[in-house]
Amino acid sequence: MKRNEDEAMTAAQLRQLRDGWQPAGELPADYAAQVVAVAVKRRRRRMGLSVLLALVAVLPVVWQLRQAPEVVAETSMPEATPMVAAEAVAEAPALGSATGAEGGLLPQPVAETGTAAPMVEVAPDLVAEAVVLRPERALKSRRSYRDSFRELGEEYDGLADIYFDDAAR
């Protein structure tokens, strides 16, 4: 108090300020109830906002799933259902006839010499595996086919995907 008296105002002034500089009136008698009502209202508003934000975040995903369910199916390994296998078997003769052979045409990896090989006929068993057998086998074949490119140090151009995609359907 002494320091304050020296620096700014007298003790009497400070006391006057302390006693006199106060708000007039009092809080209403039901102030606690008013506070509770405001608190509940704010909590509800906050909850509503959270729900709204969650909906905004989830709706596009749901919409996307409804629009293109096959996209989701392709991103996961397809199960070997009887229906898928039957479809694959049904498509096999058509593919075979399209290529004019029992097998099919697949682009070959680029050789180490740097010259790209032309489309050549590949072993029928590879196509048979891709087309006729179970889809996961076909996908495995796709991987091994890609690996053969990697072993040669080349990048797979994806040309043969159509065979494997057909097999996977």
Partner 1 sequence: MAAPRIADEAFTQFVAAYGAMARRVAWRLMGGDGAAAEDVVQNAFVKAHAKFETVLHEGAREAWFRQVVVREALNQLRWLGVRRRVAQLAGFDDRAQPAPMRDGGEVARIETAVASLSPQQRAIFVLVHLEEQTVAEAAAQLGIAEGTAKSHLHRALTSLRTQLEDLR
Binding residues for partner 1, rule: CB under 8 A, are 4, 7-10, 13-14, 16-18, 20-23, 26-27, 31-36, 38-40, 42-44, 47
Whether 110 and 117 have beta carbons less than 8 Å apart is answered as yes
Whether 1 and 11 have beta carbons less than 8 Å apart is answered as yes
Q: Please say which residue, 36 or 68, places its beta carbon nearer to partner 1.
A: 36
Q: Please say which residue, 41 or 143, places its beta carbon nearer to partner 1.
A: 41
Backbone angles phi, psi at 135, to 5 degrees: -55, -40
* Least separation in angstroms between CB 156 and partner 1: 56
* Least separation in angstroms between CB 15 and partner 1: 10
Backbone angles phi, psi at 141, to 5 degrees: -65, -40
Of the candidates 138, 126, 140, the one whose C-alpha atom is nearest the C-alpha of residue 164 is 138
Q: Please say which residue, 23 or 153, places its beta carbon nearer to partner 1.
A: 23
* Least separation in angstroms between CB 54 and partner 1: 15
